[in-house]
């Protein structure tokens, strides 16, 4: 029969090893997930690729009101030679204009809006 003190040493060592292993494993897994979540999802696009991506979004959501050539439609103004800043364009795309233009905040994220802006800046 094992003396209680020896049995106690075994229980103590095993308990200690288990909790330390659990803490280090949990901490390492959490750390790696945290680092992964902090990394950008993809490489930033070049200006040309960004504009090309924005062109796709433009034809998908903007062209039927603002025209295929962005020169304006019946109810929407021309987007050629815009004199407003990128931040202003982003605000309009994300917030919309009451009774005139819908908000695209749910459809396009920040990077998508940047792509639309990049495309609109090429229309000079």
Residues engaged in binding another protein (CB under 8 A):
4-5, 7-9, 11-17, 19-20, 23-24, 26-34
d(CA 48, CA 116): 12
Closest contact distance (angstroms) between CB of 37 and another protein is: 10
| DSSP secondary structure, 24-53, as one string | HHHHHHHHHHHHHHHS-SSPPPPHHHHHHH
Closest contact distance (angstroms) between CB of 105 and another protein is: 23
Beta carbon nearer to another protein, 33 or 85: 33
The three-class DSSP label of residue 59 is helix
| DSSP annotation of 97 | B
d(CA 32, CA 38): 10
Beta carbon nearer to another protein, 4 or 83: 4
Beta carbon nearer to another protein, 24 or 59: 24
Beta carbon nearer to another protein, 32 or 49: 32
């Amino acid at each position: 029969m094992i003396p209680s003190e020896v049995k106690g040493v075994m229980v103590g060592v095993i308990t200690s090893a288990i909790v330390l292993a659990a803490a280090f494993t949990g901490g390492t897994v959490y750390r790696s997930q945290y680092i992964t979540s902090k990394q950008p999802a993809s490489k930033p696009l070049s200006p040309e690729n960004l504009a090309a991506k924005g062109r796709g979004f433009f034809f998908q959501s903007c062209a039927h009101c603002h025209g295929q050539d962005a020169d304006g439609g019946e109810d929407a103004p021309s987007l050629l030679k815009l004199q407003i800043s990128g931040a202003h364009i982003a605000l309009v795309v994300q917030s919309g204009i009451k009774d005139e233009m819908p908000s695209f905040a749910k459809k396009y994220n920040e990077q998508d809006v940047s792509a639309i802006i990049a495309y609109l800046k090429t229309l000079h």
